[in-house]
A and B are shown apart, each in its own frame.
Chain A
């Protein structure tokens, strides 16, 4: 993208808080000459700044074979640059090339093992006992290169410089739709942030690439596979999404994580980490004009990608039939009903959030927020307090960039089954589709949602995280309009949403029973589509 001369500097300081959104903090927006956006909120309560920049790339931009790459990238971005992270940039680059060469040969051997696994000659190509002699030799060769490089590496130098400068919350996160790199710094260190972030965008070096794949496999074991329902949830999600690339988890399939190459990473970076796909968020104690000028000087040097980012063109086709999964897992039994809905910036999203709030007491924000305060909502009243059939019953709208889900979940009490709860949950939903909601419950939902919004506006990091949720699927205008959209929902909107998004053919039902638990008496209310003998 070429720099434009159309606007003068005098226009650069437009403060753009919408007139109706007086209660959202004022947000300033600027665009750098290379297309990178700056989003700024000034707050001078304490001498710190919450900082972050978001790449509009997530697991939705992947494809089979490179699943997990967006998240691997998040890890690689901490490994340094041509300047940071090594004592000898030249030898470091040579060693990276040599490592790539050995890894290419290792991939040949992995292909041999994959073929053996395909033919059933070995059970698991990742098992060290399955290695070929050539693979063993190559791994030794590779290890020697890693050792040599390690002697040159200044370990996690970027992190050390930040830590020494008083940074807190140095982190990054990847979702289906975006990757966000964050930290908070004392207010005098803004220029340090500009230096480091522009350096890692302009001159990144993905060193320690191959060993980081192992860290991610451990992360996958810890955060997904070790959870009693982690693998079940992963499979249920894959069952729910057919076409839109939300099918795989952000962390990716293990086979892909273990085989991804630096060449694939380089291509991914060139496509998605260009400044015209990035937005920086600054919240706290700074002067916006000076910050914008500094950003132009530092971040403005990163070249734009004139090709732009390939759009995701796939639309999720309408679901044609109810889908069910019956799982045994080491946990309390549950029933979950997921319906595919809409993006968090869709015009129906505020009504779906209100529906979730009224049914399940969930808070009214896009993204995957948890719930707060005492359990409330119609489901809790009906299933937990009145029928005493459940110990928990919740509803949740989860909006992403290209679609969303509406989830209903209930945990049966002692002596009750998930199958008994399913029709009870659906009955509450159908009641709203038929009779609507009351003025009072809608107003209460709105009040709770507004207070919930304000609790996020109490700290620099809270504002940064909330902004990032809106920017992930939309833009600053969506943040500014957040409270107005909550306020504008009518009873008719909620009733219409409850009628529109929940036909039987759109249901995805997950029933979890405790693994190894003795059979429960079969309830009479079991749905007819449940195959006999499946329920333990």
Chain B
């Protein structure tokens, strides 16, 4: 390989005058100026009131434009017996073609533009997203608007999506993670809450094209929509373009502003729940009631949770369970922001079956330790500095900025929320962390779920003796797996 340039020997000798400091703490850094992006500066409104968040490229951007239309409404609006309707609606909004372009013709147009148009719908909200070259923006936007306002939901594509969805259901019991995925929601929110409602082969079969059309009519209301645009465009021109495309949109007949997704009305039963699956590694999760992002405790509790089980190697759980004990590839505690109702604090890890009991004891001991004593100022500073210094990276792309503001507007969050984020994190003290641990890490409220080889999990590890049933001091319940297509309980 040709070496293009060699730095001459002279240079390091000259630079040698600046000695390399013995430790990195001796390095000094010029401050980085970063102003938190403001939702207000990015926001505009179309003539019919639809909020739009615009983040045009700086000078280094690629010649692409991204437009996403988000909507309020999803699985929680499905009629009983039609579970899966929202997911099918989400995919078929684009894949099912439009009133004037059948699915093949629409796909053909997108391919001719080298554009990507995708759509999906989750339990509480959905979106349709376009990525298109700057020069083809108008043609791409026209296709997005056609799908959004006049989808056709072609019958044969619906049948294909149904076959694919059914195949997805058939894999439910194939992995410990997917088993935990369908067992856990009912333990946390009760079997009747929308978050625990899951499709069966029969409920997928029950969804008709008319159901998709009715779901679409119900959602197509300006009050349900929020737009995000980022990339290679001029702000004013884009706003005019979006106004022409969506600013005249009126509620469809029968459209409704989507209600707020209901909070679960369910009394959780704390306990240790076991499900048997023959797999080389078990899945272990634990959940505690958390809080909403709007709660005055949020920043303090957030810092507490970062210290306990935040991402990377710096958290106590990771240091203890992975780094010291070698029991897992990763262990985390996540604090859900609760967009519609109280969030949860959820921990998870995978470990070999016989290590489940010991790893669970270690995780609970770390939580207890945080309640017993405040962290040192130095340990807390590492966590806080990490959050503060990495803050600019959270706004790392124009797409991220526009997308975050749009998603927050969709759930009705205050757009100024991030402005004092750094001050509030900086203000958290070791005593605050301990107080939050005492308030939120209530170990008698834990709902723990372990999926794996039952006998091995229950017996524990001979190197760290202790049965699983004694690990948490909570009642033990065995849960049956469910038939993947009907969700009927299987024999244990």
Q: How far is the CA of A167 from the CA of B389 in the complex (A)?
A: 8
Is there an interface contact between A391 and B382, defined as CB atoms closer than 8 Å?
no
Tell me whether B259 is interfacial, beta carbon within 8 Å. Answer: no
Interface centre among A44, A160, A214, A388 (most CB of B within 10 A): A160
Q: How far is the CA of A191 from the CA of B30 in the complex (A)?
A: 11
Is there an interface contact between A164 and B29, defined as CB atoms closer than 8 Å?
no
Tell me whether B209 is interfacial, beta carbon within 8 Å. Answer: no
- For A161, give the chain B residue with the smallest CB separation: B24
Contacts of A293 in B (CB 8 A): 11, 15
Is there an interface contact between B327 and A332, defined as CB atoms closer than 8 Å?
no
Is there an interface contact between A192 and B63, defined as CB atoms closer than 8 Å?
no
* Number of residues from B at the complex interface, CB < 8 A: 97
Tell me whether A450 is interfacial, beta carbon within 8 Å. Answer: yes
Is there an interface contact between A218 and B312, defined as CB atoms closer than 8 Å?
no
Tell me whether B489 is interfacial, beta carbon within 8 Å. Answer: no
Is there an interface contact between B390 and A166, defined as CB atoms closer than 8 Å?
yes
* Number of residues from A at the complex interface, CB < 8 A: 103
- Interface segment out of the listed A25-33, A320-328, A426-434, A500-508: A25-33
Is there an interface contact between A47 and B7, defined as CB atoms closer than 8 Å?
no
Q: How far is the CA of A214 from the CA of B11 in the complex (A)?
A: 45
Is there an interface contact between A33 and B6, defined as CB atoms closer than 8 Å?
yes
The total of Cβ contacts below 8 Å across the A-B interface reads 268
Tell me whether B377 is interfacial, beta carbon within 8 Å. Answer: no
B278 to chain A, nearest CB (A): 9
Is there an interface contact between A128 and B463, defined as CB atoms closer than 8 Å?
yes
B290 to chain A, nearest CB (A): 23
Knowing A168-B390, A376-B107, A455-B62, the reply to whether A218 touches B20 (Cβ < 8 A) is no
Knowing A374-B94, A448-B111, the reply to whether A454 touches B18 (Cβ < 8 A) is no
Q: How far is the CA of A298 from the CA of B6 in the complex (A)?
A: 16
- For B3, give the chain A residue with the smallest CB separation: A31
- For A476, give the chain B residue with the smallest CB separation: B4
Knowing A191-B29, A448-B111, A475-B1, the reply to whether A163 touches B382 (Cβ < 8 A) is yes
Contacts of A454 in B (CB 8 A): 62-64, 133
Is there an interface contact between A451 and B323, defined as CB atoms closer than 8 Å?
no
Contacts of B312 in A (CB 8 A): 159, 163, 170
Q: List 11 A-B contacts (CB under 8 A).
A: A4-B9, A9-B7, A166-B388, A166-B391, A215-B322, A222-B350, A226-B280, A332-B167, A374-B118, A414-B166, A451-B115
B contact residues vs A (CB 8 Å cutoff) = 1, 3-12, 15-16, 18, 20-24, 27, 29-34, 57-64, 94-95, 104, 107, 110-118, 131, 133, 156, 160, 163-164, 166-167, 170-171, 173-176, 279-281, 312-314, 318-319, 322-329, 350-352, 381-382, 385-386, 388-393, 395-397, 399, 461-463
A contact residues vs B (CB 8 Å cutoff) = 3-9, 11-12, 14, 16, 29-33, 43-48, 78, 83-84, 128-129, 150, 155-156, 159-161, 163-168, 170, 184, 186-189, 191-192, 195-196, 198-199, 208, 211-215, 217-219, 221-223, 225-228, 292-293, 296-298, 300-301, 330-332, 372-374, 376, 384-385, 388, 391-392, 411, 413-414, 444, 447-448, 450-451, 454-455, 457-461, 475, 514
A-B contact sample (7 more), CB < 8 A, given A129-B462, A188-B31, A217-B352:
A155-B319, A156-B323, A170-B312, A226-B281, A330-B174, A373-B116, A458-B397
